[in-house]
């Protein structure tokens, strides 16, 4: 059924808010923020985005989810909020971290809207992998380093076949793991068990594109030792592959944050 049928006086906009830096949102999202009556926001969305661009009278509802923590808002309740406010004639903006198509519950929300005959619009955003790799100076498919990139989730509930792990371990593709920073030892043990080269570079990027970004570099075999008892801040992204070697050369973001200090040291001479 087309989402244009059986329209109500309200509608829902599902939009990606990007990986963290408020300046990385699209022009279209900025316009929709200024129009929305109700904004339903995920935990990973930078609050500056609604502070800067939402209408002062807009109703902003926080519906965060976080793995390993109680108190997350159930997806069913979020679906009801979307449908309920739209049926009341409101323009509803569903704001998700990153891009809506990457590892989000957008399908559940789309199905609920379609079943309720609520019109909707989807606005893409910069996904965490693109933001993290760009701000860490790690081109994911750099020529001569990788011909492809794979996006994968890994957490205690993940299950992949032995053949799948073998394919990842022997691939020369860049592997980007979402939701994996708390399970790095298990992740690297599985890759090594299935023939991953021990010296393959590995990066963990914490809170990418924000002022709190930190990049941690090791190898698949040294990961368990180098990051023993290390707790990474959420969100964190894991990049595995030869492209990680490029971080040291093209680490522009850390250099830009240190620029003012460097300038002071030079001018004091």
Residue 262's pLDDT is: 32
Q: CA quadruple 150, 151, 156, 160: dihedral positive or negative?
A: negative
What's the rounded mean pLDDT across residues 62-80? 76
Is 60 exceeded by the pLDDT of residue 70?
A: no
Percentage with pLDDT > 90 across the chain: 83
Residue 7 corresponds to which tokens in the numbers above? 């329209």
Domains of the chain and any CATH numbers: 11-126 (3.40.1010.10), 129-254 (3.30.950.10)
Of 182, 183, 234, the closest CA to residue 207 belongs to 234
Give just the sign of the alpha carbon dihedral 189, 193, 194, 195. positive
Which pLDDT tens digit goes with each residue over 156-184? 888 999 999 999 999 999 999 999 999 99
User: Residue 195 in contact with residue 170, Cβ under 8 Å?
Assistant: yes
For residue 66, the model assigns a pLDDT of 54
Residue 40's pLDDT is 97
Q: Give yes or no for residue 38 having a pLDDT over 80.
A: yes
pLDDT tens-digit readout, 169-225: 999 999 999 999 999 999 999 999 999 999 999 999 999 999 999 999 999 999 999
| Residues with catalytic function | 42, 65
pLDDT score for 259: 46
pLDDT in tens, 104-136: 899 999 999 999 999 999 999 999 999 999 999
How sure is the predictor about 5, in pLDDT bands with cuts at 50, 70 and 90? very low
Average pLDDT over residues 215-243: 95
Confidence of residue 255 (pLDDT cuts 50, 70, 90): confident
Three-state DSSP at 34 gives helix
pLDDT at 65: 59
What is Dmax (Cα atoms) for the chain? 71
Q: What pLDDT does residue 258 have? A: 61
pLDDT of 158: 84
């Amino acid at each position: 059924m087309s989402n244009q049928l059986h329209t109500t006086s309200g509608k829902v906009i599902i939009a990606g808010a990007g990986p963290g830096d408020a300046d990385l949102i699209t022009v279209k999202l900025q316009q929709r923020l200024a129009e929305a009556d109700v904004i339903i926001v995920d935990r990973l969305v930078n609050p500056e985005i609604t502070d800067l661009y939402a209408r002062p009278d807009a109703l902003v509802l926080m519906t965060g989810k976080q793995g390993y923590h109680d108190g997350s808002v159930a997806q069913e309740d979020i679906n009801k909020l979307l449908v309920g406010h739209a049926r009341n004639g409101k323009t509803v903006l569903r704001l998700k971290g990153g891009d809506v198509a990457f590892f989000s519950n957008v399908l559940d929300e789309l199905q609920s809207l379609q079943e309720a005959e609520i019109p909707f619009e989807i606005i893409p955003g910069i996904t965490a992998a693109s933001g993290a790799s760009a701000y860490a100076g790690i081109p994911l498919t750099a020529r001569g380093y990788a011909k492809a990139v794979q996006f994968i989730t890994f957490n205690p509930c993940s299950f992949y076949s032995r053949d799948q792990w073998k394919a990842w371990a022997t691939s020369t593709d860049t592997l980007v793991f979402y939701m994996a920073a708390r399970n790095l030892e298990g992740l690297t043990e599985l890759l090594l068990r299935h023939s991953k080269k021990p010296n393959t570079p590995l990066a963990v990027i914490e809170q990418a594109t924000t002022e709190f970004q930190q990049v941690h570099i090791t190898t698949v075999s040294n990961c368990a030792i180098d990051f023993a008892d290390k707790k990474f801040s959420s969100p964190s992204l894991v990049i595995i592959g030869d492209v990680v070697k490029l971080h040291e050369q093209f680490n522009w973001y850390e250099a830009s944050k240190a620029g003012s200090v460097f300038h002071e040291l030079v001018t004091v001479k």
